Amino acid sequence: MRVELPVLIAREFVIPRLPELLARHPQLQLEICASDRIVAALREGFDLVLRVGPVNEPELVGRRLGEAPMMNCASPSYLRQHGTPRTLDDLRDHLVVHYATDSAPVFEYFDGQTYIELPMRSAVTVDNFDAYEAACIAGLGIVQVPRPGQERHANKLVEILPEFTARPVPITLLHTHGRSVPRRVRAVMTWLTELLSPLVSELVKSR
């Protein structure tokens, strides 16, 4: 069966635990596509996809695993060069790394009532999450990233403006089989839910 996962989740959380799944289901054969693009799941022949972010695909069926809290980060080298922003007004003198799926570079924050997108300047645009993190580590701007997994960058990224984070991102596991879900798909969905739901819940509790 074919499964599409975001690169970070595949690399850090799922693939290291795959031996457990294959020991449980020794006849299972998996093709994992690790990508940060939004695949056309039905047209491209995927059985399961994991979405981090809003879902607008009514032809897919699934379950929401939870939400990942967000954090704002910059590299030590960037902060030495540009200073550490303490307020939203300070952001006028700063850059963000622009993610290509966003129509324009912005800094999203909650103003107490709603989420607002503050227009920002950017020197670089990237189209996948690894490049997004790498650009931040290289000192090219501020990023807004899910908190899961960021501890691996403990010496490379610094959290800034913790009171002004972007909206949490939903994490949803979806299949393409409608009401007739094959046994193999149910098995992998169950395993992924067991694996990822506690992680998401723990992250939300620790905010």
3 state SS of 92: helix
Q: What is the pLDDT of residues 149-194, one digit of tens each?
A: 666 667 899 999 999 999 998 889 999 998 889 999 999 999 999 9
| Stated pTM of the model | 0.74
Helix (H) / strand (E) element for 64: namely strand 61-68
Assign 64 a pLDDT band (cuts: 50, 70, 90): confident
Region of poorest pLDDT, from 9-18, 49-58, 81-90, 170-179: 49-58
Return d(Cα 38, Cα 153) in angstroms, integer: 25
Tokens of 45: 């022949």
- Read off φ and ψ for residue 143, nearest 5 degrees: -125, 155
